[in-house]
Amino acid sequence: MDTPRPLVSFAIAGLLAFPQTQAVRSQEIASAARGSASMAWDALNDGLADGDVEHRKITVAAIGTIGALPEAVQKVERALQDKDAQVRQTAAFTLSQMGAKDAIPNLKAALDDTPEVSFTAAKALWVLGDNSGREIFQEVIEGERTNAPGKLHGALKDAKKKLGPGQLALMGAKEATGVMFGPASLGITAVQEAVKTVKKDGGAGGRSVAAEVLAQDSDPYALILLEWALGDDNWGVRVAVAKALGERGNQETISKLQPLLKDDHHAVRYMAAASMIKLSSKQQTSAAN
């Protein structure tokens, strides 16, 4: 039986309109992503400008999880000028984790900073393929022995007056074990702090580890479970989940992370913002391709 002509015409018209509808929908999604990214950057800028040192450290570490996005690298580079040495040290470490080779000149300048910042900047430069801080590592090896063959140079002459090689070596050991804040350890460190404040929640550590594992799981249920876990009662777990969703999430995850920008705990807000930007960046790259 032949299809009536009006129905055929209607079907053809619908098919012709479909690409245009798709294009409009894509534009709406892109516009929403830009708006969400703008809100997320506002949250991170607030963190960087916060009067609390811990807030600024956590914000720098959260930005580091975004990756080598130029705007993210620039903000972490500016943190090398922070008034607090701990924030500057965190910025130096974070730049190495971001693979930010454009930051090498600023990291070289940080070699003249306080001993702890100088050591971390030297380590960051080494990771990025620059050996400008070689003398610092040599001094750590030389220790306090008076017959050491090397000579002190530059920042290390001033550093020796404040901290000896043994203390510099201790800083390196702490950095190696993840005690110092960095993108990779942000979730774990936050959980440790959360456990101290909420001692009754003995399962927080396990849930955080589970979130890290699920971030690498391709099973669709893993994403569903992570998005559900954004409502966990423990703020340290919410940090870990938000970080995991930056890896595992998709475009629709952004709107589910957005409420965390108003979370009661600053670490949750900053990590959620970083993950939103990371996912938005992936969406824009995918759309361009």
pLDDT of 172 over the 80 cut:
no
SS3 assignment, position 9: helix
Q: How high is the pLDDT of residue 243?
A: 93
Q: How high is the pLDDT of residue 174?
A: 44
219 within some domain: yes
50 Cβ partners below 8 Å, 6+ apart?
56, 59, 266
Exposure b/e, 126-153, CB count within 10 A at least 16 = b: bebebeebebbbbbbebeeeeeeeeebe
Number of C-alpha atoms within 13 angstroms, CB side, residue 117?
Answer: 23
Q: Are residues 100 and 149 in the same domain?
A: yes
| CATH classification of the domain holding 99 | 1.25.10.10
How many domains is the chain partitioned into structurally?
Answer: 2
Taking only the tens place, the pLDDT of each residue in 87-120 is: 999 999 999 999 999 999 999 999 888 887 887 8
10 within some domain: no
Taking only the tens place, the pLDDT of each residue in 244-276 is: 999 999 999 999 999 999 999 999 999 999 999
- How far CA 60 is from CA of 89, 95, 132, in Å, comes to 10, 10, 24
Looking at 142, 157, 176, the residue that finishes a domain is 176
Q: What domain range is 138 assigned to?
A: 68-176
Q: Are residues 237 and 258 in the same domain?
A: yes
CA distance 174 to 172: 5
Closest CA to 241 of 252, 228, 254: 228
Closest CA to 239 of 182, 190, 201, 181: 190
Q: Are residues 226 and 89 in the same domain?
A: no
pTM assigned to the model: 0.67
